[in-house]
Chains A and B, each alone.
Chain A
Amino acid sequence: MANKPFAITLKPGTSLANLTGSWRSSRPVYLNRLPPCNNACPAGENIQGWLFHAESGDYEQAWRVLVRDNPLPSVMGRVCYHPCETSCNRGQLDEAVGINSVERFLGDEAIKRGWKFDAPAASTGKKVLVVGAGPSGLSAAYHLARMGHQVEIQEAGPLAGGMMRFGIPKYRLPRDVLDAEVQRILDLGVTLKLNTKVENIEQSMQLGAFDAAFLAVGAHIGKRAMIPAGDASHIVDAVSVLRSMEGEDKPMLGRKVVVYGGGNTAIDVARTVKRMGGEPLIVYRRTRDRAPAHDFEIEEALQEGVMIKWLSTIKQAEAGEITVERMELDDKGFPQPTGEFEKLEADSVVLALGQDVDLSLLQGVPGLDVKDGVVQVTPDMMTGFPGIFAGGDMVPSERTVTVGVGHGKKAARNIDAWLRGITYVPEPKHEIATFDKLNPWYYSDADKTVRPMLDIIRRQTSFDEVQGGLDETNALFEARRCLSCGNCFECDNCYGVCPDNAVIKLGPGKGFEFNYDYCKGCGICEAECPCGSIKMVPEDI
């Protein structure tokens, strides 16, 4: 000490000796929150997860993550009503991410490049019968096959696809796309028996020595309404019309075709009639905003020249004309008759009033509970008869392709567990990454990419696909509009904004770690995390 001048008697030290983490009263932790899109997806897709790979241009990996949950991305990218986009947080910023269009791009890319599913797990020696080759049945068959079970689909119709083929018109879902995605499922070793109507499920199971069955026969019996009709009137149901579009003999409906109903099926029939050269008129008893059809479909139909008569019911049908009554909505929004009538030209009337389920195959099966014309199932998709599961349109649900696919997946997981003698317990859901968890400042302004639409004349006269797809450049752009809600996308913000250098960057793909020795708990990282992947939790003091 004596040899040193004043004030430098101590050796210089580093502030690292000063563990400022002891100041902290709350600590940041990394977490994954559930993106609203994933939460909204009826098929339970990990949308944010597959967009993550699409963002870096790794479309094959994106597709592989996608098909872990849904084997029909190309179909989905065309017919799904994308509740994911409705719930997308980006919708509160500018416009929702075009998830559906990226999904279609990935699906089409997979078909183009011939990507195959990963090989199934080792065989379990169990046999499962799937009844019905619609979206739900195909989905269940796919998941069961990947889990190592031997799967046979028995389908009453002449071709696979169910309502995807016999309910959705070609201009929305080209058949080569459907065929390609069905074939890829069959390539997993799934047996498909066409023209095989299951009359008695117990018998069919015994015959084939099946250990379990999944029923997904759909709902394809058109509902009738009591309309006083003359002998010469021509009344048919919408499902039959759409089904016969797939066969050799196209339906004979005449020129003036009245479609009765306000759902998506009514729109599909009207647009089909338009393409066949007819003059469709939709008659619906309520108003546009109360119609069950999706508004964009109504809009597309109107663009193509479909006429719609709102607030009207059909009172009588005669040869060549119908009588409609004008309705009024009451306080509760229900249509009430007004006594004002009008006659309209009509060569035929197509009823699009919903569909019933053909439950004949279940006759004599003990323990089944059928209510309101649909089969009741437990939350694990099993009917009252052990080992028989059911899903899709034949159980209580919103009747869409995506819901059907979701049922198929859920049922497959529960069938798998049931066959193994265990109970399937889904992983607990993360908390939802709501918009208030995000810091949207960091996302640059980027408007949604609009998919090209077929020109109007070709839409009115041909069954060519109406909506086009994205190409590689704009699919990439669209994928990158994803905010990655609730899941770290390695933007380095936490690492950059920490005034205490207490965030450790672990390298590409590895994310970050907090250094709690020095983290003072200021919370800037949480506040400035764009995607809400950090949470402050109180320290136990």
Chain B
Amino acid sequence: MSFQPVKFYQTGTYTVGNRLLAPDARSVQAGELRSNSINSGHRACQGCGEALGARYAIDAAMAESNNQLIAVNATGCLEVFSTPYPESSWQVPWIHSLFGNAPAVATGVAAAMKVKGKNNVRVVAQGGDGGTTDIGFGCLSGMFERNDDVLYICYDNEAYMNTGVQRSSATPPTARTATTMPVGPEPGNVFGQGKNVPEIAMAHGIPYVATATVADLRDLEYKVRKAMKMHGARYIQIFVPCPLGWGSASHDTIRLARLAKETGMFPVFEAEHGEVTGVLKIRNKQPIEDYLKPQKRFAHLFGKHAHPEMVAHLQAIADRNIRKYGLLDEEKAHG
């Protein structure tokens, strides 16, 4: 467990707040004075995981930096739905340049703050998985390598959604995307290596790398706040389900994020200087089908022309994650 859970206040640490908790033990999101970095009226779809994840993360970063924060945004859904010219939902100083250069722009902003002597102003860069793992990857690696004082947050919804649901290097095998032509007779993405950016970030040896989901708010806030206490290049990848791109019900956004973690499909961990220092354990392990079935992008794996071998392959990926990161408690792993 990467953070200390609060025990026995009726709901433990799982809820956003709780009337019985001391105010300082509550989450940032529970506060009436949270900064609401992305305000109401944004044009994200119903049940958007990215809008939620971004508010969770940036509100936490604002709280940790005493509201002295500049956000740099790559092109992507997050930019498109929040800021159609001339209006914006952002309630933080915010800059957008190109799809692929957010890490470089953030480096520049951080350098500018340094030159101006504003050491208290912190910089966060953010983008989707397309802008991060594909298009902006070179700039991102450079930012890591130079150890620039930027926290980069990737909101991972496993495809380019603003271009009409298009495959990215974060799209999982077998997932169907709308605008990418399938390779071979099967409609979904092929089994391949993909691109595990959290591990690539760790390979750069940067001070902090973490993953989180919108289903574990306390863990997410803990990681953002921890990252904001550090300097140098830091990377957090937040798992944000996309109802539109995944073909899931809008009310299932958090449930799917929870299932991704509970099945082992998305390992939630943190690492310092290239070494894993903590994992969020699976509480009740679920079979991979429970995660796949509510999503239409995996519908071709089930039904009349089912592909149990592909489901088994995905289960093997999840099981490998569980082994590799030690996601199950000892007793549960053997029980």
Contacts and interface: CB of A to CB of B under 8 A. Distances in A.
Interface of A: 7-8, 10-20, 23, 55-56, 441-446, 477, 480-482, 484, 489-493, 495-502, 505, 507-508, 515, 517-518, 520-524, 526-528, 530, 536
A193 B35 CA distance: 67
A524 B88 contact: no
B251 interface: yes
Identify whether the interface residues of B are mostly helix, strand, loop, or mixed. loop
A13 B87 contact: yes
A15 B19 contact: no
Given A444-B11, A444-B13, A12 B87 contact: yes
B41 A20 contact: yes
B9 A499 contact: no
A490 B40 contact: no
B217 interface: yes
Contacts of B51: 499-500
Given A515-B40, A524-B254, 11 more contacts: A12-B88, A17-B87, A443-B10, A444-B11, A480-B9, A480-B10, A496-B16, A496-B27, A499-B52, A522-B46, A523-B251
Interface in B190-210: none
B16 A502 contact: no
A14 B44 contact: no
Interface in B242-278: 243, 249-255, 258
Given A520-B46, A522-B253, A527-B255, A495 B87 contact: no
B15 A14 contact: no
B79 to A, nearest CB: 13
A18 B16 contact: no
B87 A15 contact: yes
A507 B87 contact: no
Contacts of A8: 86
A495 B15 contact: no
Contacts of B14: 441-444
Nearest to B250: A522
A180 B232 CA distance: 69
A446 B40 contact: no
B176 interface: no
15 contacts: A15-B88, A16-B39, A20-B40, A55-B20, A442-B12, A491-B16, A492-B15, A492-B16, A492-B18, A495-B16, A495-B17, A495-B29, A500-B44, A520-B45, A530-B11
Interface string B28-54: 011010001011111111111101100
B122 interface: no
Contacts of B48: 499, 522
B87 A18 contact: yes
B43 A526 contact: no
A524 B253 CA distance: 7
B10 A496 contact: no
A441 B258 CA distance: 10
Contact of A56 (B19, B41, B243): B19
B82 interface: yes
B285 interface: no
Given A7-B85, A10-B86, A14-B88, A524 B15 contact: no
Nearest to B14: A442
Nearest to A11: B86
A8 B86 CA distance: 8
B7 interface: yes
A18 to B, nearest CB: 4
Contacts, number: 166
The 10 closest A-B pairs by CB, nearest first: A444-B12, A492-B17, A496-B16, A523-B251, A15-B41, A522-B47, A13-B87, A518-B40, A10-B86, A491-B15
Given A489-B10, A496-B27, A14 B46 contact: no
A257 B48 CA distance: 73
B55 A499 contact: yes
Contacts of A505: 32
A508 B16 contact: no
A440 to B, nearest CB: 10
Interface bracket on B = 35 or more
Contacts of B252: 527
A7, A8, A498 — which one has the most chain B CB atoms within 10 A of its CB?
A498
Contacts of A491: 11, 15-19
B89 A14 contact: yes
A10, A444, A481, A505 — which one has the most chain B CB atoms within 10 A of its CB?
A444
A349 to B, nearest CB: 52
Contacts of B253: 499, 522, 524
A532 to B, nearest CB: 14
B96 interface: no
A443 B12 contact: yes
B251 A524 contact: yes
B10 A55 contact: yes
Contacts of B82: 15
A16 B49 CA distance: 20
Contacts of B41: 14-20, 518
Given A15-B40, A501-B55, A490 B19 contact: yes
Nearest to A528: B254
A445 B281 CA distance: 15
Contacts of B29: 492, 495-496
Contacts of B17: 490-493, 495-496
Nearest to A482: B10
Contact of A501 (B11, B36, B251, B255): B36
B251 to A, nearest CB: 3
A217 B259 CA distance: 59
A492 B30 contact: yes
Given A15-B88, A15-B89, A526-B251, A499 B13 contact: no
Contacts of B300: none
A499 B47 contact: yes
A527 B66 CA distance: 33
A507 B32 contact: yes
A18 B81 CA distance: 12
A442 B15 contact: yes
A484 B252 CA distance: 23
A389 to B, nearest CB: 41
B250 A497 contact: no
Contacts of A524: 47, 52, 250-251, 253-254
